Amino acid sequence: MGKIGFLFSGQGAQTIGMGEDLFKNREECKNVFESGENLLNMDILNKMFNGDEETLKKTSIAQPAIVLTSLAAAEALKNEGIECDYSCGLSLGEYTALIHSRVISFEDGIKLVKERGRIMEEAGIKVKGKMAAVLKLKEDKVEELVNRCKEFGIIEVANYNCPGQIVIGGESDPIDKSIEIAKELGGMAIPLKVSGAFHTSLLKEASEEFYNYIEKVKFNEIDEKIYSNLKGNLYVKEDNIKNTLKNHMIKSVYFEKIIRDMISKGVDTFIEIGPGKTLTGFVKKIDRKVKILNVYDIESLNNCMKNIKQI
């Protein structure tokens, strides 16, 4: 059997009802959700299971909700005897990976994610920014697109997701301009429904504020099987993880590079853990030969276990 890579969901994957099936049917998942709600000191479960899309979409709600759902699903997998050889997350998902691997304690991790969500939501209100997904253009063409739009304001590459999809972020004018210039270059830029220009320098002030919370958190030794979005490679013991997470908020996410490195290290089965199937889609575009599974409810958990046993 080859190696297993866990992929933890990022913001945008949230949906009403996520995690409810796991909560009702698995005691270990229920414990994760209830412990998390107590630490957050908010009625997060009601918002997740019975709330409305607009509320759940708020960064301050979505981030802890997604992390809790992902950790609960990972706990169910652990109870079935499934662990990973390597793990990563898309943006927010990196925090799930760090909590799951006990680099950060569950208590500290949940509280840290709550502050991250709050700070990023406030930054989105204070510093108006936009993001757009650039499709059908290679990296060099996206760089050309960004360079041509810089005269209109701040614009940067935020996410290198997979071949044919790179996300850009920045001020409104250059992002609006990028939509017409992308067409000239043979691609297209689609505005994203997000509350700010995440993973760009527009969040520099927010990252400084967030660092005040990171500084107080105790980080255990890295076990060198977790990938850093910022590096596009594995964390190593020598890394200054607090600085890395501070810069994580304002720098590009190298998701495609991470997946390619996982595959080069022998990962042939990826399990996307948490709501949505966004990361599954990215991995398919990177390499169709690998096996991709999902765990977000009881049915997908059972399907995952069935497939794992067949490998």
Alpha helices (H) in 199-277, listed in sequence order: 204-214, 241-248, 255-264
For residues 263 and 4, give the distance between their C-alpha atoms in angstroms, rounded to a whole number. 10
Question: Residue 29 carries which DSSP code?
Answer: H
Contacts made by residues 213-220, CB under 8 angstroms, sequence distance 24+: 213/112, 213/115, 213/116, 214/112, 214/242, 214/245, 214/246, 215/242, 217/104, 217/108, 217/112, 217/242, 218/104, 218/105, 218/108, 219/103, 219/104, 220/102, 220/103, 220/104, 220/105
Which of 199, 207, 228, 300 is catalytic? The answer is: 199
Distant-in-sequence, close-in-space partners of 122: CB < 8 Å, separation ≥ 6: 206
* CA atoms lying within 13 Å on the CB side of residue 29: 25
Tell me whether strands 227-228 and 267-273 are parallel, antiparallel or unpaired: unpaired
Helix, coil or strand: residue 20: helix
Which of 91, 101, 178, 195 is catalytic? The answer is: 91
Bridge partners (DSSP) of residue 269 are 4, 291
Helix, coil or strand: residue 43: coil
Whether 91 is catalytic:
yes
Whether 178 is catalytic:
no
The residues carrying an active-site annotation are 91, 199
